Amino acid sequence: MSNCSVKQAPVTQAFSSKSHAGFLPAAARPPHDPLQIALDERVGWRLRETLIDGIEAAPQDGALTIAADPDSGRLLNEASGSFGGLSTPPNISLAPDGTVYLLDWLSGRLKRFDACDCDFTTVPCTGGFGDQPRELGNPVNTAQSEDDIPSIFPGIGICGGNLYLADPANHRLQVFSLHGFALRGFWNPPAEHQPQDWQPSAIGFDRRGYVLVSDPANGCIHQFNPGGRWVGCIEGVGAVRALVTDCENRLYMFSDEIAPIKIYSLDQDVWLSTAVRYDEVAARFDKLPITVTPDGYLNLASLCVGRQDGRLFDLQGDAVTGKQLTAGHTFVQQASYISAPLDSRLYRCQWDRISIDAVIPEGARIKVSTYSAETELSDGQILDLPEDVWSTAQTMFPQLRGQDWDALIRSEPGRYLWLRLEFLSDGSVTPGVYRILVDFPRISLRRYLPAVLGEEPVSADFTDRFLGIFDRSFRGIESKLDQQAGYFDPMSAPAGPGRKNFLGWLASWIGINLDRTLPLARQRYILKQAGKLFPLRGTLCGLRKNLELYLGLDQVACRRERGCAPCTTPEPPEWQLPQLILEHYRLRRWMFLNAGRLGEQSRLWGQDIVNRSQLSGPQTNGNARLGVTQLNTTQDPFRDPMHVYAHKFSVFVPGCIGRSRQRRRRLEQLIEQEKPAHTAHQLIFVEPRFRIGVQSMIGFDSVIGCYPEGVVLNQSGLGKASVLGPAVRGGPELRVGQNARIGTTTTIN
């Protein structure tokens, strides 16, 4: 037993020493390449209230900007009715998928924003002045001029799959289905609760989905449940021209341009307070995907596909040129930002470089300084540092976004680094800092030179800074080699103009010719999916999938729901991909013996189905006529009923593609490349017309919509495929030959 103990003692001691050594921290060594610390909206700016003065993160993009002067800023009672940009104006509403709808009260038309064209288009079969269903009473009679806003503004709102349109001139609230724009009906309050004929104006919603409609004529706000039943009203509010609810279900009402905004609690049914300034209530609202300027213009650049130039639109949906964006603020002239300590976790780390992505307009600049230390200092110690200990001291002058600015960090070696940005402005503009990158440690090519060149600190510092010029060039080449795999991935390959278009070159490797008119994201997705479709080339399934890829029909856009939206929209019916391709053999209607029956859908086949020219013979009479029959020497005349529909198909695509010569040619090339070699195709561009047997085919390019209303004889213009609605109550009875005439495309219900 004792011998065993003596032999085990050294083993136990040795094991114990190894165990303790395993828990010791590893010695910090510089990496082969510099590391980076990023500061931006996504990873955080490391803000500390004690280290910033007059700096804030912009709510639109999260950039570091100068805070507005407390004595200036946007007001909630701006004339546009947008509550200082917290909401859309009363005649503008956002659908759950982000689509912008606008009611142009000058023309009485409902418009929808097209992100591809970056412009507003009129929604068909809605609007126009009149008193019929789907029409809007003319509110311009209440305005002083075309540039004035009417005293009773016709507003719109979207909630629960419905689009609500206020019609004050006709004393009604029209309710449309958002999908298809079918007119669902008219909502009106009970007669005993409207001493004067009610004039619906602004529209809002609470978080239960109840519809709030202002009534300036009676000085109240009517409340309807989602089913259209009137449930009450808020009285004594005056002529409310705009209203909106926040995330806490508080109702804000704007009645005129000089009075403060009234705030009402919908949950407690009590008046709360009033507000005037934007920053008093901004935290209670979600950020809008669009920007409303103080002078009432819409900046929809964030919604446009391929455009970021800040295009502006007025409240009628017309593009505005030559108009500068105004912030609506006066900024303090000097502000400062000091970051929280940046930890390198390296002893005596020599911080290398700082690069900043910022926008600096004329009249502003940023001064950059740094300070390093081996131990972490408190915020008070940093603020008490004398000016002469701050190093780097470089100034950023006016520049545009994307022009990265960088500077060498001149601070002494130390584990921790503090970054100070001093924002200077003339008070009318503010710089915006979007991203900061700090490189560390400084790794120089001096490590490959004789050690004598680094013995003296001053000379070593100069050598490192001098070789840094070449080191960055070499490291740029190395980084491209390290990221080489990204060049062969369609989702990351560069797609710049000219010789920088590596994406197009990558597509040529597999025989794909990308359409440069398509959005870049679509081009990348097509190239990524192209390899999977090679085994299906020459088949109906392969051609259909290629068409779906090119047209973007295989990707259903994600719905963007607001975080605290006052109402929820039910999911629309499940969308199904259109057929796109019609094989002509499906159009045959054969008549079989003892089974066929003559009727409207029956067709007798004869020798003239191809209209082939036939010569007279001993037993046949020829039918050849110049300009009538055709000389066709191919195929078999006895099998003409089969050949007319055999090996042929039609492709149905949206009509907008036919208006672009390049996209039409590219589509023809795609069909020729993917179709079976022995087939013939016909390309049909689907336009918004509905004429059965002429242009449309149910199930391929036509859908059945709601029955039209409001088309009245002698009051509405009749065109192709017009349908007269039911007779107006009290109107003349239609009698053919007396006061009505039946046309070739007119149907009387």
Q: Which fold has domain 92-320?
A: Neuraminidase (2.120.10)
Least confident range from 192-196, 227-231, 290-294, 474-478: namely: 192-196
What's the whole-number mean pLDDT along residues 632-659? 75
pLDDT tens-place string over residues 639-649 = 666 667 788 89
Across the chain, mean pLDDT equals: 78
Task: Tell me which residue has tokens 């309807």.
Answer: 224
Strands of 76-117 (E only): list them. 92-94, 100-104, 109-114
Contact predicate 603/589, CB 8 Å? yes
* pTM for the whole structure: 0.47
pLDDT band for 138, please (50, 70, 90 cuts). Answer: confident
Residues of the chain with CATH 2.60.120.260: 35-65+330-443
pLDDT band for 636, please (50, 70, 90 cuts). Answer: low
Residues of the chain with CATH 2.120.10.30: 92-320
pLDDT of residue 657: 84
Q: Is the pLDDT of residue 701 over 90?
A: no
pLDDT tens-place string over residues 418-469 = 999 999 998 878 899 999 999 999 888 888 888 887 788 888 888 888 887 7
Highest mean pLDDT among 123-132, 552-561, 604-613: 123-132
pLDDT of residue 143: 44
Three-state SS at 487? helix
pLDDT tens-place string over residues 145-200 = 444 445 577 899 999 889 999 998 888 999 998 888 888 889 999 887 777 788 89
- The structure tokens listed for 488 are 């062969």
Q: Is the pLDDT of residue 497 over 70?
A: yes
Q: Is the pLDDT of residue 493 over 60?
A: yes
pLDDT tens-place string over residues 75-125 = 888 888 888 888 999 999 999 888 899 998 888 889 999 887 788 988 887
pLDDT of residue 718: 62
pLDDT of residue 218: 87
pLDDT tens-place string over residues 520-563 = 888 899 999 888 888 998 898 999 999 988 888 876 544 444 44
pLDDT of residue 145: 44
pLDDT band for 730, please (50, 70, 90 cuts). Answer: very low
What's the whole-number mean pLDDT along residues 309-335? 74
Chain Cα centroid distance, residue 148 = 31
Q: Is the pLDDT of residue 337 over 90?
A: yes
- 57-84: burial string, b at 16+ Cβ within 10 Å, e else: eeeeeebbbbbbeeeebbbbbbbbbbbb
Q: Is the pLDDT of residue 617 over 50?
A: yes
Q: Is the pLDDT of residue 593 over 60?
A: no
pLDDT of residue 383: 94
pLDDT tens-place string over residues 213-231 = 999 888 899 999 988 999 9
Q: Which fold has domain 35-65+330-443?
A: Jelly Rolls (2.60.120)
**Cα R_g (the chain), whole angstroms:** 36
Q: Which residue has the higher pLDDT, 419 or 504?
A: 419
pLDDT of residue 720: 55
Q: Which residue has the higher pLDDT, 504 or 309?
A: 504
| DSSP letter for each residue of 413-437 | P-SEEEEEEEEEE-SS---EEEEEE
pLDDT band for 20, please (50, 70, 90 cuts). Answer: very low
Report the distance separating Cα 419 and Cα 433, nearest Å. 13
pLDDT tens-place string over residues 664-699 = 888 998 999 899 888 989 898 887 665 555 555 555
Under DSSP, the state recorded for 160 is T
Q: Which amino acid is at 46?
A: R
- Closest by Cα among 83, 206, 94, 210 to 561: 94
Contact predicate 453/459, CB 8 Å? yes
Report the distance separating Cα 253 and Cα 584, nearest Å. 61
pLDDT tens-place string over residues 376-389 = 999 999 999 999 99
Q: Is the pLDDT of residue 327 over 60?
A: no
Report the distance separating Cα 319 and Cα 371, nearest Å. 49
Q: Which residues pair with 215 in a beta bridge?
A: 220
What is the bridge-based pairing of β-strands 723-724 and 747-748?
A: parallel
